[in-house]
Amino acid sequence: MKLGTKLIHAGVAPDPSTGAIMTPIFQTSTYVQSAPGQHKGYEYARTQNPTRDALQNALAAIENGTHGICFGSGLAATDAVLKLLNPGDEIIATNDLYGGTYRIFTKVFAKYGLKFTFIPMQDARNIESHITPKTKMIWIETPTNPLLNIIDIHAAAQIARKNEVLLAVDNTFASPYLQNPLDLGADIVVHSATKYLGGHSDVVHGAVIVKNEALAQQLYFIQNSTGGVPGPQDCFLVLRGIKTLHVRMQRHCENGAIIANYLRNHPKVDKVYWAGFTDHPNHDIAKTQMRGFGGMMSFTLKDDSLESANRVLSNTHLFSLAESLGGVESLIGHPATMTHASIPREERIKNGLADSLIRLSVGIEDADDLVEDLKKAIG
């Protein structure tokens, strides 16, 4: 089954009681049993819900995994993955990553005895020199947030397997339409389904996908025991979003290429970070492991000042100034004060995240209108 067909059909079936083509929203907290211990597979909605089950099956299918595990947000999914580890374990993470991930690593789990090392991973060989006997996980984003660095998933997976550590990949920026890390050797895929999977800026949701039974059972146990589950309405919205992921991502990619090239040729723009440029570091790796380059990008102005960046950020109309990404509408953001404000400034600067960096989530509007919007804002 090809991906576009799989996105619409995999993991779901018409409701057997009514024939409804969309999975119903099972808005219930508990289920009636015919006798103690005799039920229809459902006992309590924190543990199981039919709407959530349908989504979990769909997510597993589209990421070419065997098990999907859903959570109330992307960070709740990250939280669950980290709970696979024990005090004293070490995690090697990319140095360019979502600010909320950095925050949960350093401000929440570090005080419980997990140790995090943040390193550049554009050359995957750099990972191996940081592995110690206590290393239990490698955590990567690719493309990274917000500098769109590309990390070789297959190479990282080989290093992880050689050293008997887990490889977790945050696949939020790419989505399953563009990239499938499990196929490249990753053990765990994490999504903020709030973003491209939901796709309409109307739900907060997270997911983990694996293809290892033992890992899956550990994660289901954590999901049930800690209770960070999504409600059935949220699961329904993500199921709906997945059905149009392929057509949305096609337009995100088309518009992204147009906007990235417009910005690169603008006389007032300095650097544009987008993996689709042939001179982007690791562009060849991106071509190998991705099916397109997406609609996420960042840029700086030649007048590299916060004042100039703020003028652009405050003067777009179709690009809305807001947190988040991956919706049908275009968004513009300022990582230093928004999505990455929780990372100390010295760390941001050291990793190349300038105070003046502007991040775009290019939506599916008409590209000519988006270009005109940026033209007026940049001047």
299 Cβ contact partners less than 8 Å away, ≥ 6 residues apart: 263, 269, 270, 271, 272, 273, 357, 358, 360
- Is residue 49's pLDDT more than 90? yes
243 is annotated as an active-site residue: no
CA 125 from centre of chain = 24
From CA 375, how far away is CA 322, in angstroms rounded? 19
Decide: 333 and 282 in contact? Cβ < 8 Å.
no
Confidence at 147, pLDDT banded by 50, 70, 90? very high
CATH ID of 12-242, from 3.30.413.10, 3.40.640.10, 3.55.10.10, 3.40.190.10: 3.40.640.10
191 by DSSP, 3-state: which? strand
42 is annotated as an active-site residue: no
Catalytic residue among 52, 98, 102, 248: 98
- Is residue 300's pLDDT more than 90? yes
Torsion sign over Cα 70, 76, 79, 83: negative
Catalytic residue among 195, 211, 348, 359: 195
DSSP 230: P
Catalytic residue among 152, 170, 187, 234: 170
218 sits in the region (left: phi over 0; alpha: psi -120 to 50; else beta) called: alpha
CATH, range 245-378: 3.90.1150.10
The tens digit of pLDDT for each residue in 171-193 reads 999 999 999 999 999 999 999 99
Confidence at 352, pLDDT banded by 50, 70, 90? confident
46 is annotated as an active-site residue: yes
Please report, for the chain, how many H helices and E strands are present, in that order.
14, 12
- Is residue 255's pLDDT more than 90? yes
52 is annotated as an active-site residue: no
> pLDDT at position 86, please?
98
207 by DSSP, 3-state: which? strand
Domain ranges of the chain: 12-242, 245-378
> pLDDT at position 282, please?
97
**What secondary structure does DSSP assign to 328-366, as a single string?**
SS-EEE-TTTTTTTTS-HHHHHHTT--TT-EEEE--SS-
368 Cβ contact partners less than 8 Å away, ≥ 6 residues apart: none
- Is residue 83's pLDDT more than 90? yes
Element (H, E) at 137: strand 135-141
From CA 82, how far away is CA 91, in angstroms rounded? 9
Q: What percent of the chain has pLDDT over 70?
A: 100
Element (H, E) at 80: helix 74-82
Catalytic residue among 15, 31, 46, 89: 46
> pLDDT at position 351, please?
86
From CA 171, how far away is CA 107, in angstroms rounded? 23
- Is residue 40's pLDDT more than 90? no
Find where tokens 């033209």 sit.
Answer: 375
